[in-house]
Structure 1
Amino acid sequence: MDKVHLPKGDMWAVHKFGGTCVGTSQRIKNVADIIISDDSERKLVVVSAMSKVTDMMYDLINKAQSRDDSYISALDAVLEKHNSTALDLLEGDDLASFLSQLHHDVSNLKAMLRAIYIAGHVTESFSDFVVGHGELWSAQMLSYVVRKNGLDCKWMDTREVLIVNPTSSNQVDPDFLESERRLEKWFSQNPSEIIIATGFIASTPQNIPTTLKRDGSDFSAAIMGALFRARQVTIWTDVDGVYSADPRKVSEAVILTKLSYQEAWEMSYFGANVLHPRTIIPVMRYDIPIVIRNIFNLSAPGTTICRSASADVDGQNLDSPVKGFATIDNLALVNVEGTGMAGVPGTASAIFSAVKDVGANVIMISQASSEHSVCFAVPEKEVKAVAEALQSRFRQALDAGRLSQVAVIPNCSILAAVGQKMASTPGVSATLFNALAKANINIRAIAQGCSEYNITVVLKREDCIRALRAVHSRFYLSRTTIAMGIIGPGLIGATLLDQLRDQV
């Protein structure tokens, strides 16, 4: 029999459905309908575990290693959730086959959890193996539902295909060469026009089960898109797309129909609900667009993330050089200053080496050109350890007066303005700072990369939402100036003036 080679290219469309999308039997049917209605020649579908299942799996591991007997009932709850879902979705041989596999898996898990219970601890690889079962079950159920409609469909345990190398920063790097080799082998044994693949889980080069960590299923879909050289990767979620600002904070926020890879990267780094920055890396290599769609609102076009993007918002071609605004709360600003810093090589290295040693994450850095001071933002929960480490590291310099202080400014937030056109548009910074000044917002620190894709400011936490609304309205609302006079403002007129002042 001739070996079946994996075809690659535009005939493949990749879809990713998160836990909310496959959270119930009806939602799994809806996902199957979307897959069936996609007229692409070939489809690769990445699925997460059913809603809340991953948390349930981690919870029963924690209970087992804490020697809490309730891990048994917690596992029974996981079994019942999948058992009842399968009874709703499947029938006949398909139902019998799935339930047999489910009960076999749960029996094995019971033995593993018993071992964890006795030992009182669990290794990371053991934990990853247990947690990954949620994806295995959701992928199998969805594949049965698609096949029930007469379509050629196979399910893939991505631990057999996707190989990653763990890094020291609780992340993983995909091994594309080895993954491509294993994908070719898998496809030669399982040729199919529709593949339902497990998200989140993978293997190390030594075939030890692991996970892709935070936002792992999105990352899985992006890696698969790159391996198949797909036409596009669609991430299905419960929002209409990427907004120009958090709609919970800015009611006038609009859907961005297009973003560049760099803009999406910047916005996701600064807390916008877009994608994890690492999700974008695999697809950028092959210029594969990512589309964010709402599974609960199929009429919404969503947001397309691609190589270059015009400022197209809800069908209107806006000239605004700023695409969106994002915020990060619960930060503290650390300021290290002193005349002894100027012109001394290695000072910045010593500062951030001390920060690294306590495992803190630096969100933003700003340095005066005089080299007299360096300030940076860290999560508030980490600032105490950072300050103590810096005080210890620079004790001699502080005592000698070469450094004047290591100061902590708590209760801060970051506001970032993001847009690729900012680099070629004069006056963006002036407009941003003018909007903040008119809103009576005090800026504590400023940073801008030389790429000019974002301008970042640090503010008081209590000013953050007001600042976000002020800059958003300046860049996104009507530029028309209206002159209005109020003669003899009484109670109503004075209230109107107060409201106008609050929104400036």
Structure 2
Amino acid sequence: MKVLKFGGKSLANGQGIQTVVDIIDQKVKKGEHITVVLSARGTSTDELEAILEQAVKNENYQEALDAFKKYQIADFGNVNFLEEFEILDKLFEGVSLLGDYSKRIKDQVLSQGEVISAKLVTHLLKERGVNAHFTDSRELIITDGQFGDAQPLDTLSKENVVKHFEKYNGTTVNVVTGFIASNAKNETTTLGRNGSNYTASLLANYLNAEELQNFTHVNGIYTANPDLVPDAKKIERLSFTEANELAYFGANILHAKTIIPLIEKNIPLRILNTFDHNNEGTLITSEASEKGIKSLSVLENVSLINLEGRGLLGKVGVDARIFKALAYKNISVSIISQGSSERGIGLVVSADEAKQAKATLEQEFESDFYKRDVSSITVEKDVSVISIIGQDLSTFHKPYNALIRNQVVPLLFNNTVTGKNVSLVVKKNQLHKALNVIHGEIFEISKKVNIAIFGHGLVGGTLIDQILTSAKEIEKRKKIHLNIFAVANSRKVLLQKNGVKKEWRGDLEEHGVVYEIEEIIKYADVHHLENLIAIDNTASKEFTDHYITLVKHGFDLVSSNKVANTLSFDFYKELRKTLEENQKQYLYETNVGAGLPLIDTIKLLHLSGENITRIKGVFSGSLSYLFNTYSVENRKFSEVLQEAIDKGFTEPDPREDLCGNDVGRKLLILARELDLSNEFEDVQIDNLIPENLRDGDAASFLGRLQELDPVYEKIKEDQKEKHVLRYIGDLSGDLSQEKGVLEVKLVSVPESSALGQVKGSDSIFEIYTESYGDQPVVIQGAGAGAAVTARGVFGDILRLTEKG
């Protein structure tokens, strides 16, 4: 025999109830010997409980009760539920008059959902010609007198079940009410919420069933709740032990007591989807499955109680007193652990019992309050428990660090004696994000990185296109899913939680909205977006004012904008302090060398203790092209400059390049990487624009370019033979002191030197160190261009995704 159990969603009106009847009918036609256990239909149990609460408050519950009855009858007017409806009428009327109800009354109310469900399915099967028999489990399962969460009396219950099935056997399909039972006084009891699974498990045990098939609305047990974690994957096989852990720690498909009767008789349990006949579900057997983390379970209806006090640390018997006091009040503790304070103890109880638990503990530790051994007993209500089933403490640092990086700080955690399961208590409003962060970290599923891009000009737009083009290949190779959820300019933002598409430019124009930075932060929070990165591809001083706010709200930073690193040294230090406090990172490789690995190299040398004595080089790709070309070609300076403008190598107003401020900012950034406290005012800059051309608008300057020719012709002629012009940045002096010497200047160098051999718009950097002596570390390559810079920013993004 196989026992089939159907849940509430499977039995809902419409497709659900008809599909259940089809499944049973087909199995009977195939000659299968089956017994069926049913939950209440749809949300009937919750509805009855809500009506009960209305009645006890003497509120008008009749409308809700009429809606409940209407749903149960629906298209099944020829089924007689008069007896069940009369029972409910009398019970609710009595509760309304008394203004109170007991757990015994509540069990009687809730039991009607299962009775109605089983009566209806029995009727529908008989209409199909199936020999179905309505079986009230209150006549079979006998329990103790604990209403609401009764414990079966196995010997008596088994005798009843065996006798019943001897009488109704062969071709009979017993349709059994789940969840409900009765005590020795023949009073209705219930087996706890989700207890229909327990009923099915008990029947399977008593009848030595071949298999228990639990039909639900999902395809099996998943690595996490798919409603909370979209990337959750189905688990094909589990052992009873793993399933029991999942059940205990909140897997909503299983009841915590369901597994035990199956283990006793080694009866397989299969979790199936009522609505997907082709899916084989999850099979649970006694055979051990592959080692490793199996799933994330969640307990939501819980509270965290914290006991704090100087006298708790190392004091013998405190835990025993806690358990004894709570056990006396029938309050179960699911987790107990050292709290966030070394003088504290934290324990997790049902939210419904938290108030009573606090009062009980206050009474137990009353004398300890007087001695000041206990300073406080507090309750944190809005919490949830995440349990990582199969997690070994040796690798727990990975999900834990991922949580911290995403600013989810567990309030408490503990592990089981085996060390194979770890439970975390987190704030309820962080549950969704925490689950996705942990899930992405521990399973071989792509880690989702959510990116907000500010600025979509040449560099920003190129970057977006590069990410969209490469995303699938990166996910395939690196298991990293890059998701651009925000694209913003100075006016409006396009927000799409599942990522912008290749048509993002048109979408921004059509669907973009005016925004403040706080609205993007809120959007990420509301949609539980994890692993946040903000990309600054602007040149805006105003946007850098948001850096600290973004970091405090969980964003790592990547920037091609040089401004933030060249503002006051006080801001520079404050930003880094904020990054450290929030364990976030700020990468800006493109600030100096576009796509060249310059800053990383300098950081590595500096952190390793290498004494860097000097850095000099051609920092500007625009000016590199200008002087590389002018030095070797017999052309006027204005002609070469106009060519650079036409090719897009310079800013629209080339004075922004020629003034040397850009090179000065880059040089200052490198100085600060060496922990020098220079300000921008310390940089000595050789402005390439004659004073008479520095004022006025861009158009006026562009009309007077020829005035530059005699100035630079003389500079060129005054050079030594086989020398060329280069506009360089030079950081020198005693770099072990507080400040270095920063110079930006036009120099003449031998064409055979490293600087002299630079071609096109390449940049070159010479890094002199104590160890390398006169032979510098040389980094050379493309120093300008949107594609190169965007690729450098992209590299920083990927560098961030691989951290931790």
Identity among equivalent pairs (%):
26
Residue in structure 1 matched with residue 321 of structure 2 by the alignment: 350
In structure 1, what is the Cα distance between the partners aligned to 2:186 and 2:262? 25
In structure 2, what is the Cα distance between the partners aligned to 1:58 and 1:402? 42
Which one-letter code corresponds to 1:347 in the other structure?
Answer: V
DSSP-derived class of the 2:25 partner: helix
Residue in structure 2 matched with residue 91 of structure 1 by the alignment: none
Residue in structure 2 matched with residue 20 of structure 1 by the alignment: 9
Residue in structure 2 matched with residue 86 of structure 1 by the alignment: 76
Answering whether residue 280 of structure 2 is matched by residue 304 of structure 1, we say no
Q: After superposition, what is the alpha-carbon deviation per residue over 1:134-162, rounded to whole angstroms, capped at 9, x for unaligned?
A: 32232222123223333332221111111
The answer to whether the Cα contact below 8 Å between 2:162 and 2:207 also exists between their aligned partners in 1 is no
In structure 1, what is the Cα distance between the partners aligned to 2:372 and 2:56? 51
Which one-letter code corresponds to 2:279 in the other structure?
Answer: A
Say which one has the larger Rg.
2
Residue in structure 2 matched with residue 473 of structure 1 by the alignment: 440
Residues 47, 408 of structure 1: CA spacing in aligned structure 2 closer, same or farther, 3 A cutoff?
closer
| Structure 1 unpaired stretches of 5+ | 1-11, 88-94, 312-319
Q: After superposition, what is the alpha-carbon deviation per residue over 1:186-220, rounded to whole angstroms, capped at 9, x for unaligned?
A: 23443353111111221112211222221121221
TM superposition shift of 1:52: 3.1
Answering whether residue 415 of structure 2 is matched by residue 448 of structure 1, we say yes
| Segment of structure 1 superposing worse, 170-179 or 462-471 | 462-471
Residues 139, 248 of structure 1: CA spacing in aligned structure 2 closer, same or farther, 3 A cutoff?
closer
Which one-letter code corresponds to 2:38 in the other structure?
Answer: V
| Segment of structure 1 superposing worse, 50-59 or 105-114 | 105-114
Q: After superposition, what is the alpha-carbon deviation per residue over 1:276-335, rounded to whole angstroms, capped at 9, x for unaligned?
A: 211222222211122111112222221122223423xxxxxxxx6111123445753624
Residues 379, 138 of structure 1: CA spacing in aligned structure 2 closer, same or farther, 3 A cutoff?
closer
The answer to whether the Cα contact below 8 Å between 2:84 and 2:116 also exists between their aligned partners in 1 is no
Residue in structure 1 matched with residue 702 of structure 2 by the alignment: none
In structure 1, what is the Cα distance between the partners aligned to 2:325 and 2:156? 37
TM superposition shift of 1:244: 0.8
1:367-446 equivalence runs, <5 A: 367=338, 374-378=345-349, 390=361, 393-394=364-365, 396-400=367-371, 402=373, 413-419=384-390, 427-429=394-396, 431-433=398-400, 435=402, 442=409, 444-446=411-413
DSSP-derived class of the 2:442 partner: helix
DSSP-derived class of the 1:308 partner: coil
Residue in structure 2 matched with residue 197 of structure 1 by the alignment: 176
1:290-369 equivalence runs, <5 A: 290-311=269-290, 321-328=292-299, 331-332=303-304, 334-338=306-310, 341-342=313-314, 344-355=315-326, 361-367=332-338
Q: After superposition, what is the alpha-carbon deviation per residue over 1:431-450, rounded to whole angstroms, capped at 9, x for unaligned?
A: 55565566676555442222
Matching residue within 239, 254, 260 for 1:260: 239
DSSP-derived class of the 1:277 partner: coil
Residue in structure 2 matched with residue 176 of structure 1 by the alignment: 154
The answer to whether the Cα contact below 8 Å between 2:307 and 2:346 also exists between their aligned partners in 1 is yes
In structure 2, what is the Cα distance between the partners aligned to 1:218 and 1:427? 35
Residue in structure 1 matched with residue 706 of structure 2 by the alignment: none
DSSP-derived class of the 2:265 partner: coil
The answer to whether the Cα contact below 8 Å between 2:306 and 2:344 also exists between their aligned partners in 1 is no
The answer to whether the Cα contact below 8 Å between 1:332 and 1:409 also exists between their aligned partners in 2 is yes
Question: Which of structures 1 and 2 has the larger relative contact order (alpha carbons within 8 angstroms, sep 6+)?
Answer: 1
Residues 155, 397 of structure 1: CA spacing in aligned structure 2 closer, same or farther, 3 A cutoff?
closer
Residue in structure 2 matched with residue 8 of structure 1 by the alignment: none
Matching residue within 30, 35, 38 for 1:44: 35
Which one-letter code corresponds to 1:141 in the other structure?
Answer: L
DSSP-derived class of the 1:132 partner: helix
Q: After superposition, what is the alpha-carbon deviation per residue over 1:434-492, rounded to whole angstroms, capped at 9, x for unaligned?
A: 65566676555442222233022445666655544344333322799759998537578
In structure 2, what is the Cα distance between the partners aligned to 1:137 and 1:405? 49
TM-score (norm 1): 0.77
| Segment of structure 1 superposing worse, 408-417 or 476-485 | 476-485
Residue in structure 1 matched with residue 19 of structure 2 by the alignment: 30
The answer to whether the Cα contact below 8 Å between 2:149 and 2:190 also exists between their aligned partners in 1 is no
TM superposition shift of 1:74: 4.8
DSSP-derived class of the 1:365 partner: strand
Residues 135, 474 of structure 1: CA spacing in aligned structure 2 closer, same or farther, 3 A cutoff?
closer
1:199-278 equivalence runs, <5 A: 199-278=178-257
The answer to whether the Cα contact below 8 Å between 1:242 and 1:273 also exists between their aligned partners in 2 is no
The answer to whether the Cα contact below 8 Å between 2:338 and 2:412 also exists between their aligned partners in 1 is no
The answer to whether the Cα contact below 8 Å between 1:341 and 1:347 also exists between their aligned partners in 2 is no
Answering whether residue 262 of structure 2 is matched by residue 283 of structure 1, we say yes
The answer to whether the Cα contact below 8 Å between 2:239 and 2:285 also exists between their aligned partners in 1 is yes
Q: After superposition, what is the alpha-carbon deviation per residue over 1:346-389, rounded to whole angstroms, capped at 9, x for unaligned?
A: 22222344555677653322249xx9653334567866765666
DSSP-derived class of the 1:259 partner: strand
TM-score (norm 2): 0.51
The answer to whether the Cα contact below 8 Å between 2:133 and 2:174 also exists between their aligned partners in 1 is yes
Residues 377, 56 of structure 1: CA spacing in aligned structure 2 closer, same or farther, 3 A cutoff?
closer
The answer to whether the Cα contact below 8 Å between 1:264 and 1:274 also exists between their aligned partners in 2 is no
Residues 166, 289 of structure 1: CA spacing in aligned structure 2 closer, same or farther, 3 A cutoff?
farther
DSSP-derived class of the 2:418 partner: coil
| Aligned residue-pair number | 465
In structure 2, what is the Cα distance between the partners aligned to 1:48 and 1:385? 31
Residues 490, 270 of structure 1: CA spacing in aligned structure 2 closer, same or farther, 3 A cutoff?
farther
In structure 1, what is the Cα distance between the partners aligned to 2:183 and 2:351? 34
Residues 85, 408 of structure 1: CA spacing in aligned structure 2 closer, same or farther, 3 A cutoff?
closer
Which one-letter code corresponds to 2:70 in the other structure?
Answer: E
Quote the RMSD (CA, aligned, Å).
Answer: 3.9
TM superposition shift of 1:44: 0.5
In structure 2, what is the Cα distance between the partners aligned to 1:416 and 1:123? 33
In structure 1, what is the Cα distance between the partners aligned to 2:68 and 2:404? 54
TM superposition shift of 1:31: 0.8
Which one-letter code corresponds to 1:351 in the other structure?
Answer: I
In structure 2, what is the Cα distance between the partners aligned to 1:133 and 1:219? 18
Which one-letter code corresponds to 1:473 in the other structure?
Answer: G
Q: After superposition, what is the alpha-carbon deviation per residue over 1:204-263, rounded to whole angstroms, capped at 9, x for unaligned?
A: 122112222211212211111112111111111111211112334433221111122222
Residue in structure 1 matched with residue 612 of structure 2 by the alignment: none
Residue in structure 1 matched with residue 135 of structure 2 by the alignment: 156
| Segment of structure 1 superposing worse, 222-231 or 186-195 | 186-195
TM superposition shift of 1:47: 1.3
